A and B are shown apart, each in its own frame.
Chain A
Amino acid sequence: MIYLDNAATTKVAPEVLKEMVSYYEEHYGNPSSIYYFSAACRDAIDNARQKVARAIKARPSEIFFTSGGSEADNWALKGIASALKYKGNHIITTSIEHHAVLNVARFLEGSGFRVTYLPVDKYGMVDPDDIKRAISKDTILISIMYANNEVGTVEPIREIGRIAHENGIYLHTDAVQAAGHIPIDVNEDMIDLLSISAHKFYGPKGIGALYIREGTEIYPLIHGGGQERNRRAGTENVPGIVGMGCAIELALKGFDDENERIIYLRDRMIDKIFSSISGVKLNGHPEKRLPGIINICIDGVSGDTLLLNLDMAGIYASSGSACTSGSLEPSHVLLAMGLTEEEARSSIRFSLGRYNEIEEIYEAVEKLAELVGRLRNS
Chain B
Amino acid sequence: MEIYLDNSATTRVRNEIINDIVMVITENYGNPSSLHHKGFKAEKILNYSREMIARLLKCSPEEIYFTSGGTESNNLAIRGYLKANRRKGNHIITTAIEHPSVSNTFLDLKKDGYNVDILPVNPMGYVNIDDIKRIITEETALISIMMVNNEIGTIEPIKEISAIAKEKGVALHVDAVQGFGKLDFDVKEYGIDMLSLSGHKIYGLKGSGALYVGRDIKIAPILTGGGQERDIRSGTENMPGIIALGKAAELLFGKIDENARFMYELKKKLVDELKELDGWSINGPGLNEAAPHILNISFSGIRGEVLVHSLEEYGIYVSTGSACSSKHHSESPVLKALGLKPNAIQGAIRISFSIFNTEEEVVKAAEAIKKIVPELRKYTRR
Across the interface, do B31 and A240 meet the contact criterion of CB distance under 8 Å?
no
Please name 26 pairs of A and B residues whose Cβ atoms are closer than 8 Å in the assembled complex, sorted by A: A5-B34, A8-B33, A9-B30, A20-B25, A28-B12, A30-B323, A33-B6, A70-B234, A99-B227, A100-B223, A204-B25, A204-B239, A206-B207, A222-B71, A224-B100, A224-B105, A225-B324, A226-B100, A233-B100, A234-B68, A234-B69, A237-B238, A237-B241, A240-B206, A307-B36, A322-B226
Among A34-42, A139-147, A182-190, A248-256, the one that faces the other chain is A34-42
Across the interface, do A311 and B37 meet the contact criterion of CB distance under 8 Å?
yes
Nearest chain B residue, comparing its CB with the CB of A318: B34
Smallest CB–CB gap between A113 and chain B, Å? 14
Interface size counted on chain B using CB atoms at 8 A: 75
Q: Which residues does chain A contribute within 8 Å of B2, judged by CB atoms?
A: 37
- B154 is an interface residue with CB less than 8 A from chain A: no
Q: Which residues does chain B contribute within 8 Å of A322, judged by CB atoms?
A: 31, 33-34, 39, 226, 236
Q: How far is the CA of A262 from the CA of B67 in the complex (A)?
A: 34
Residue in B104, B236, B239 with the greatest tally of chain A CB atoms within 10 Å: B236
Across the interface, do A238 and B320 meet the contact criterion of CB distance under 8 Å?
no
Q: How far is the CA of A314 from the CA of B10 in the complex (A)?
A: 41
Q: How far is the CA of A107 from the CA of B317 in the complex (A)?
A: 45
- A32 is an interface residue with CB less than 8 A from chain B: yes
Q: Which residues does chain A contribute within 8 Å of B227, judged by CB atoms?
A: 99, 103, 323-324
Q: Which residues does chain A contribute within 8 Å of B234, judged by CB atoms?
A: 70, 74, 99-100, 103, 323
- B267 is an interface residue with CB less than 8 A from chain A: no
Nearest chain A residue, comparing its CB with the CB of B305: A34
- B325 is an interface residue with CB less than 8 A from chain A: yes
- A172 is an interface residue with CB less than 8 A from chain B: no
Residue in B4, B6, B25, B67 with the greatest tally of chain A CB atoms within 10 Å: B25
Q: A9-B31, A34-B327, A235-B198 are in contact. Are A98 and B225 (CB under 8 A)?
A: yes
Q: Which residues does chain A contribute within 8 Å of B312, judged by CB atoms?
A: 35-37
- A245 is an interface residue with CB less than 8 A from chain B: no
Across the interface, do A233 and B104 meet the contact criterion of CB distance under 8 Å?
yes
- B300 is an interface residue with CB less than 8 A from chain A: no
Q: How far is the CA of A101 from the CA of B33 in the complex (A)?
A: 18
Across the interface, do A34 and B320 meet the contact criterion of CB distance under 8 Å?
yes
Q: How far is the CA of A373 from the CA of B319 in the complex (A)?
A: 68
Nearest chain A residue, comparing its CB with the CB of B104: A223
User: Is the interface on chain A under 10, 10 to 19, 20 to 34, or 35 or more residues?
Assistant: 35 or more
A residues at B contact (CB < 8 Å): 1, 3, 5, 8-12, 14, 17, 20-21, 24-25, 28-30, 32-37, 66-71, 73-74, 98-101, 103-104, 107, 197, 199, 204-207, 221-227, 233-240, 304, 307-308, 310-311, 314, 316-319, 321-326
Smallest CB–CB gap between A64 and chain B, Å? 13
Across the interface, do A71 and B101 meet the contact criterion of CB distance under 8 Å?
no
CB-defined interface of B3-43 with A at 8 Å, one 1/0 digit per residue? 01010011111010010011001100111011111110000
Across the interface, do B236 and A11 meet the contact criterion of CB distance under 8 Å?
no
Nearest chain A residue, comparing its CB with the CB of B15: A25
Across the interface, do B9 and A74 meet the contact criterion of CB distance under 8 Å?
no
Smallest CB–CB gap between B205 and chain A, Å? 7
Q: How far is the CA of A307 from the CA of B39 in the complex (A)?
A: 13
Which single member of B25, B37, B222, B240 contacts A221 (CB below 8 Å)? B222
Q: How far is the CA of A8 from the CA of B101 in the complex (A)?
A: 32
Q: How far is the CA of A32 from the CA of B51 in the complex (A)?
A: 32
Across the interface, do B34 and A239 meet the contact criterion of CB distance under 8 Å?
no
Across the interface, do A103 and B224 meet the contact criterion of CB distance under 8 Å?
yes
Q: How far is the CA of A252 from the CA of B208 in the complex (A)?
A: 28
Across the interface, do A34 and B309 meet the contact criterion of CB distance under 8 Å?
yes
Smallest CB–CB gap between B196 and chain A, Å? 11
Which single member of A11, A37, A308, A326 contacts B33 (CB below 8 Å)? A326
Across the interface, do A9 and B29 meet the contact criterion of CB distance under 8 Å?
yes
Across the interface, do B26 and A222 meet the contact criterion of CB distance under 8 Å?
no
Across the interface, do B13 and A28 meet the contact criterion of CB distance under 8 Å?
yes
Q: How far is the CA of A71 from the CA of B71 in the complex (A)?
A: 14
Across the interface, do A99 and B226 meet the contact criterion of CB distance under 8 Å?
yes
Q: Which residues does chain A contribute within 8 Å of B35, judged by CB atoms?
A: 304, 307-308, 311, 318-319, 325-326
Smallest CB–CB gap between B299 and chain A, Å? 17
Nearest chain A residue, comparing its CB with the CB of B27: A11
Across the interface, do A5 and B226 meet the contact criterion of CB distance under 8 Å?
no
Q: A9-B30, A32-B323 are in contact. Are A100 and B104 (CB under 8 A)?
A: no
Across the interface, do B207 and A237 meet the contact criterion of CB distance under 8 Å?
yes
Across the interface, do B101 and A223 meet the contact criterion of CB distance under 8 Å?
yes
Q: Which residues does chain B contribute within 8 Å of A321, judged by CB atoms?
A: 226
Residue in B18, B72, B225 with the greatest tally of chain A CB atoms within 10 Å: B225
Smallest CB–CB gap between A148 and chain B, Å? 15
Q: Which residues does chain B contribute within 8 Å of A98, judged by CB atoms?
A: 225-226
Which single member of A24, A30, A307, A317 contacts B6 (CB below 8 Å)? A30
Which single member of B31, B37, B238, B322 contacts A67 (CB below 8 Å)? B238
Which single member of B21, B30, B67, B236 contacts A24 (CB below 8 Å)? B21
Q: How far is the CA of A237 from the CA of B238 in the complex (A)?
A: 10
Q: Which residues does chain A contribute within 8 Å of B18, judged by CB atoms?
A: 21, 24-25
Residue in A25, A103, A236 with the greatest tally of chain B CB atoms within 10 Å: A103
5 smallest A-B Cβ distances: which pairs?
Answer: A206-B238, A237-B207, A323-B226, A225-B324, A224-B101
Across the interface, do B200 and A235 meet the contact criterion of CB distance under 8 Å?
yes
- B357 is an interface residue with CB less than 8 A from chain A: no
Given contacts A74-B225, A240-B238, 9 further A-B contacts (CB under 8 A): A14-B26, A100-B223, A100-B224, A205-B236, A234-B207, A235-B10, A240-B240, A316-B36, A323-B228
Q: Which residues does chain A contribute within 8 Å of B198, judged by CB atoms?
A: 235
Nearest chain B residue, comparing its CB with the CB of A11: B29
Which single member of B100, B223, B240 contacts A204 (CB below 8 Å)? B240
Across the interface, do A205 and B33 meet the contact criterion of CB distance under 8 Å?
no
Smallest CB–CB gap between A208 and chain B, Å? 8
Which single member of B39, B107, B207, B236 contacts A235 (CB below 8 Å)? B207
Across the interface, do B12 and A30 meet the contact criterion of CB distance under 8 Å?
no
Q: Which residues does chain A contribute within 8 Å of B10, judged by CB atoms?
A: 28-30, 33, 235
Please report which residues of chain B, range 65-109, place their CB below 8 angstroms from some CB of chain A when the two chains form the complex: 67-72, 74-75, 99-102, 104-105, 107-108
Smallest CB–CB gap between A66 and chain B, Å? 8
Q: Which residues does chain B contribute within 8 Å of A204, judged by CB atoms?
A: 25, 238-240
Across the interface, do A235 and B224 meet the contact criterion of CB distance under 8 Å?
no
Across the interface, do B326 and A32 meet the contact criterion of CB distance under 8 Å?
yes
Q: Which residues does chain B contribute within 8 Å of A237, judged by CB atoms?
A: 68-69, 205-208, 238, 241
Smallest CB–CB gap between A345 and chain B, Å? 14
Nearest chain A residue, comparing its CB with the CB of B319: A33
Q: How far is the CA of A33 from the CA of B317 in the complex (A)?
A: 9
Q: How far is the CA of A204 from the CA of B26 in the complex (A)?
A: 10
- B368 is an interface residue with CB less than 8 A from chain A: no
Smallest CB–CB gap between B149 and chain A, Å? 15
Q: Which residues does chain B contribute within 8 Å of A314, judged by CB atoms?
A: 37
CB-defined interface of B130-157 with A at 8 Å, one 1/0 digit per residue? 0000000000000000000000000000
